[in-house]
Amino acid sequence: MKEIFDTICAPSTPLKESGIAVVRISGPSALEMAKKIFETNKKIEPEKVIRGKIKISGIEDRAILLYFKEPHSYTGEDVVELQVHGNPLLVRKVIGALIHHGCRLAEPGEFTKRAFLNGKMDLIQAEAVARFISAKSEMALRIASRVRNGELSERILELRENLLKLLVCVEGSIEFPDDIDVSEEEVIEKMKRLRDAVDELIKRGKEGRRIFEGYKAVISGKPNVGKSTLFNQLLGFERAIVSPYPGTTRDYIDSVIFLEGKEVRFYDTAGLRDSFDPVEEKGIKTATRLKEEADIIILLFDGSEPPCDEDLNLIKTMKENSIPVLNKVDKGTREEWEKMGLNFLKVSALRGDGIEDLKREIAKRISQEMEDEIFVTEMRHLKLLEEALKELEFALEGPKNLELLAESLRFVNRKLEELLGITRDEVIDEIFKNFCVGK
């Protein structure tokens, strides 16, 4: 049943100079409110473009009105969109006039919240609207689009449907043991499959979050090997201060580029060495922390000098996500590096030699066939799934009887319900307050 709300309004486009601005009105009096300031000699019909003019306090502007009759609208209630010229002062005048005639200024995310409460979308789809708007890469936009269109919801619903079928069997067996016969072994086997499905969603979800939040690529190495120069070359402009003196970089500097449609945030960090300077020491600790958090580590060495103990110690710390790179090859490469048997990439950060090869290697490291995947993208989703997984693992490791297994299944069902939005009002309010006004 559709809920009844008051009528709200807000700008749906940013308040800045532009060719067109859109003001959205939603609620039972949406059309009535619009008619207070919009004049036309045409009949206003749903989903028809109506040309007319806005008249407010002696100001006139040619405008377009679009009317969507409930329930065939974004919010599920009557919606009117007014298109006017994109002067911020004019938009404020329009909003002020609508409020004067009885509208209320919408709260952040209230249009989408109403769409959710009126059954136009579930909570997962509603949250994906914000992801869709804020997506910074093509892949992030594509995934957010598919989640918004309900593909992730379908997977969660299928998971919940299988869980409920199992729960009905278990509870039926407890209440009517003579009529419904289900073995603990059968229940345990199905719970294992349920656990594996939840675990896979979590694993893929952690990868999916990187697509939205960006991959971290940290340039690491001892002082004066050319980290800042390489950082600038990767970005394509001078972002970091370059100095011939070691220890110049005390704090990290970061900036973003896009590689094959994925957002990569590069970090230029302090040189790794023993230091008695408290400021430099703090920078080295930060560099070490960022290195631990990185998705990609560019381990940079000066190939024109023979490897020293610091270099050898860094090589010992190499992980699977490390890319060993020899810099300053324009000065020649010492044969000691060649004898190590490592697959070094060779660059000249000063001249730009090998930079495109390095970019391709980074893109290759973060590239996976994910176009056909649907990801959990929100921390809220991951937290609920992790709680469900923990309960399933506890149930499978603990004492086995149907009563205890049924209780665990009920707990998991509650977590899936919360995921989909079958949940408490305060949770809903917390989610939508992070949306922008007008959406």
pLDDT, tens digit, 9 for 90 and up, residues 98-115: 999 999 999 988 999 999
Domain 129-210+378-420 architecture: Up-down Bundle (1.20)
d(CA 195, CA 317): 35
pLDDT > 90 in the chain, percent: 37
Looking at residue 12, its pLDDT comes to 93
Sheet holding 8-11, edge to edge: 38-39, 49-56, 59-68, 79-86, 18-26, 8-11, 104-105
CATH fold, domain 214-366, is Rossmann fold (3.40.50)
Structure confidence at residue 394 as a pLDDT band (50, 70, 90): very high
pLDDT, tens digit, 9 for 90 and up, residues 273-317: 444 444 445 555 666 677 777 888 888 888 888 888 888 888 888
Handedness of CA 106, 112, 114, 117 (dihedral sign): negative
d(CA 405, CA 386): 18
DSSP 3-state of 55 = strand
| CATH code assigned to 8-122 | 3.30.1360.120
Within the chain, all domains assigned CATH 3.40.50.300 are found at 214-366
Decide if 385 contacts 142 (C-beta within 8 A).
no
Question: 57 pLDDT exceeds 90?
Answer: no
DSSP 3-state of 121 = coil
Looking at residue 256, its pLDDT comes to 84
Decide if 271 contacts 221 (C-beta within 8 A).
yes
Within the chain, all domains assigned CATH 3.30.1360.120 are found at 8-122
pLDDT > 70 in the chain, percent: 85
Q: At what angle do helices 110-117 and 425-432 cross, to 10 degrees?
A: 140
Q: Do you know the residue count of the chain?
A: 439
Question: 75 pLDDT exceeds 60?
Answer: yes
Residue 358, amino acid: L
Within the chain, all domains assigned CATH 1.20.120.430 are found at 129-210+378-420
Sheet holding 262-268, edge to edge: 253-259, 262-268, 215-220, 296-302, 322-327, 345-346
